[in-house]
């Protein structure tokens, strides 16, 4: 498709009743750092798939925490190095962060702060390949 988040913002008023948004392999690498999340237009949104968008920072998606019905978030195959929890994400129970660049246990400590996470995928990150016998 090739949409960036700016184009999604333009389309947002027409997406009032959308519950699932799949933006795999688009150009949505810059989200929260540039654009406000239109909560009024995405208030029914339950699922966002941003796989393979070149997202380099958790800061780009952290504002999704304000979406009142967000339950599932897929961020596989991006370049996210760490997760930093901010209050919100009240209904998020499904978070996939596979094949990113998570390389520190502090991100896992942050994941413990999410109030409802039940399904978590983190395979393919550098931290998952650390050999604990080397210590």
| 119 within some domain | no
| 75 within some domain | no
| 48 within some domain | yes
pTM score, whole prediction: 0.93
How confident is the model over 33-69, as pLDDT tens digits? Answer: 999 999 999 999 999 999 999 999 999 999 999 999 9
| 47 within some domain | yes
| 91 within some domain | no
pLDDT at 133: 59
| 118 within some domain | no
The parent domain of residue 16 ranges over 1-69
Name which of 31-35, 98-102, 125-129 the model is least confident about: 125-129
Number of domains observed in the structure of the chain: 1
| 37 within some domain | yes
pLDDT at 129: 82
More confident residue, 3 or 30: 30
Q: Using pLDDT thresholds of 50, 70 and 90, give the confidence band for residue 125.
A: very high
**Rg (alpha carbons) of the chain, rounded to whole number:** 15
């Amino acid at each position: 498709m090739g949409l960036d988040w700016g184009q999604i913002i333009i389309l947002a008023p027409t997406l009032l009743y959308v519950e699932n948004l799949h933006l795999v392999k688009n150009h949505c690498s810059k989200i929260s750092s540039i654009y406000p999340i239109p909560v009024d237009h995405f208030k029914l949104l339950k699922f966002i798939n941003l796989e393979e968008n070149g997202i380099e920072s958790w800061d780009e998606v952290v504002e999704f925490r304000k979406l009142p019905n967000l339950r599932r978030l897929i961020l596989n195959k991006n370049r996210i190095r760490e997760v930093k929890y901010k209050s919100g994400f009240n209904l998020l129970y499904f978070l996939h962060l596979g094949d990113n660049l998570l390389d520190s246990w502090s991100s896992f400590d942050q994941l413990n702060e999410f109030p409802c996470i039940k399904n978590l995928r983190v395979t393919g990150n550098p931290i998952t390949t650390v050999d604990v016998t080397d210590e």
